[in-house]
Amino acid sequence: MNELNKKSGSAGIFISIIVVVAIVAVGITALLVNIFERKSEARNPYIRLVEVTEDTTDPEVWGKNWPKQYDSYKRTALTTSTRFGGHGGSEALPAEKIERDPWLKRMFLGYAFSIDYRDRRGHAFMLTDQEDTKRHNVSQSGSCMHCHAAIMPVYRELGDGDALVGMNKTHAMSYQELNKMVHDMGHGHSVSCVDCHDPDSMQLRVTRPAFIVGLQRLAESDAPVPAIPSIDIWRQGSRKTPYDPNVDGTRNEMRSFACGQCHVEYYCSSGMPLTFPWSNGLTMEGAEKEWDETKIKGERFYDYKHKESGAEILKAQHPEFELWSQGIHARSGVACADCHMPYMRDGASKISDHWVRSPLLNVNRACQTCHHFSEKEILARVDSIQQKNYDLLQRGGAALMDLLDAVEVAKKSGATAEQLKPALEMQRKAQWRLDYIAAENSMGFHAPQEAARILAEAADYARQGQVEALKLTK
Task: Kindly tell me which residue out of 336, 400, 423, 430 binds ligand HEC, with binding defined by CB under 6 A.
Answer: 336
Give dist(CA 74, CA 138) in Å, integer.
32
Interface positions, 72-111, toward ligand HEC (CB under 6 A): 73, 80, 82, 84-87
E strand spans, 149-229: none
Cβ at position 193, least distance to ligand HEC in Å: 3
Distant-in-sequence, close-in-space partners of 261: CB < 8 Å, separation ≥ 6: 147, 195, 206, 207, 208, 211
Residue 125 lies near ligand HEC (rule: CB under 6 A): yes
Neighbours of 343 (CB within 10 A): 15
Task: Kindly tell me which residue out of 261, 389, 431, 464 binds ligand HEC, with binding defined by CB under 6 A.
Answer: 261
Give dist(CA 155, CA 169) in Å, integer.
9
Q: Taking CB positions, which residue lies at the least distance from ligand HEC?
A: 85
Residue closer to ligand HEC by CB (options 66, 108) is 66
Interface positions, 176-215, toward ligand HEC (CB under 6 A): 191-193, 195-197, 202, 204
Cα angle at 111 between 105 and 115, to 5 degrees? 55
Give dist(CA 272, CA 267) in Å, integer.
8
Task: Kindly tell me which residue out of 56, 57, 230, 256 binds ligand HEC, with binding defined by CB under 6 A.
Answer: 256
Task: Kindly tell me which residue out of 56, 140, 170, 309 binds ligand HEC, with binding defined by CB under 6 A.
Answer: 140
**413: DSSP letter:** T
* Size of the residue set binding ligand HEC (CB under 6 A): 91
Cβ at position 131, least distance to ligand HEC in Å: 9
Alpha helices in 44-174 (DSSP H): 59-65, 67-74, 97-100, 102-107, 126-132, 152-158, 163-170
Neighbours of 316 (CB within 10 A): 23
Residue closer to ligand HEC by CB (options 148, 156) is 148
Distance of CA 303 to the CA centre of its chain: 21
Stretch that binds ligand HEC, among 213-221, 288-296, 351-359, 416-424 (CB under 6 A): 351-359
Interface positions, 379-408, toward ligand HEC (CB under 6 A): 381-382
Interface positions, 287-316, toward ligand HEC (CB under 6 A): none
Binding letters toward ligand HEC, positions 430-449, x by CB under 6 A: ---------x-xxx-xx-x-
